[in-house]
Chains A and B, each alone.
Chain A
Amino acid sequence: MAASSQKDPGVNIESPEFIARLKAYDKEAFQILVRAFQDKIYNLSLRLTRNPDEAEEVLQETLLSVFNKIHTFQERSRLSTWIYAITSNGALSRLRKKRETLVTFDDDTPLKSDTALFRNGHTLFTYSQKHDPVIENELAERLEKAIEALPDGYRELYIMKELQEMPIKDIADIVGIKPGAVKTRLHRARLLLRAKLSDYWET
């Protein structure tokens, strides 16, 4: 799920030349940018909001924001990282509005001695060695559901880090917690996911 920022051959979207074209509001450059990122932005916003209408709104807001703020973009970071940060901010702010008592990203309670969480097991499938589309589709569906079922406050961080491959520091800035707290939550999300997929592991 890594960001592919280069769809048009010969165009490097992260290059200073391309960014200069964007800053000059070059129509063709913006077309290339939109085509390269719209699936990625939509995918991220849909996973975060879990609502296709909101995902579309976040996509539109993100693209407009990129257009309106491109002159402020500092080339210290990657353009893709900047775009995903705008997307995540937009999606998370919608979630905050919707959930009156939202996701407190700072309630780091100690890991409970949850027997389900610590359930042990061996790997049941050797799926990585053999290409089997049926098993792969089933695994994808199961994983999709397991991620959706992660608790609020964990799910968002997991999506941003594991699926979108955003840097921990950026995630910390977006959700307003320390990088260490992001790592703690991410670890718990991974443990929860492992446990949710426990029927794939022999006990």
Chain B
Amino acid sequence: MDCYKFVELMSEYVEGDLSPENTALWQKHFESCKNCAPFLKSFESSRELLQYLKEKKCPDEIKTRMESLIADMCEKKKAAASKKN
């Protein structure tokens, strides 16, 4: 296995999707290549950065609008149902 193949299979490795044969070849390359270990570390670290990402909050005025929209829809359903009965 060369370095490019090693990098190609990196996501499969970190997600545990690598086949047993490829795992053995991957591990062998990892142990013998001085460049690929730091590459893997930076790959994993860039995924770990996701924990610092902040959720984009919905503005309060939109929330109020959405809540009253859905409440109205429920009222209309209820009114339509009681008309039927």
B-binding residues in A (CB < 8 A): 1, 25-27, 30-31, 34-35, 38-43, 46-47, 56, 59-60, 63-64, 67, 111, 113, 118, 120-123, 127-128, 136-137, 139-140, 143-144, 147, 162-163, 183, 186-187, 190-191, 193-194, 197-198, 200-201
Contacts and interface: CB of A to CB of B under 8 A. Distances in A.
B38 A1 contact: no
Contacts of B67: 31, 34-35
Contact of B49 (A26, A43, A111, A143): A143
26 contacts: A1-B55, A25-B78, A27-B74, A34-B70, A38-B63, A42-B57, A42-B62, A46-B56, A47-B56, A59-B58, A59-B62, A59-B66, A67-B73, A120-B39, A121-B39, A139-B49, A140-B52, A140-B54, A143-B52, A187-B8, A187-B12, A190-B10, A194-B42, A198-B42, A200-B42, A201-B38
Contacts of A59: 58, 62, 66
B56 to A, nearest CB: 5
Interface of B: 3-4, 7-8, 10-12, 17, 35, 38-39, 41-43, 45-58, 62-63, 66-67, 69-71, 73-75, 77-78, 81
Contact of A111 (B4, B17, B41, B78): B4
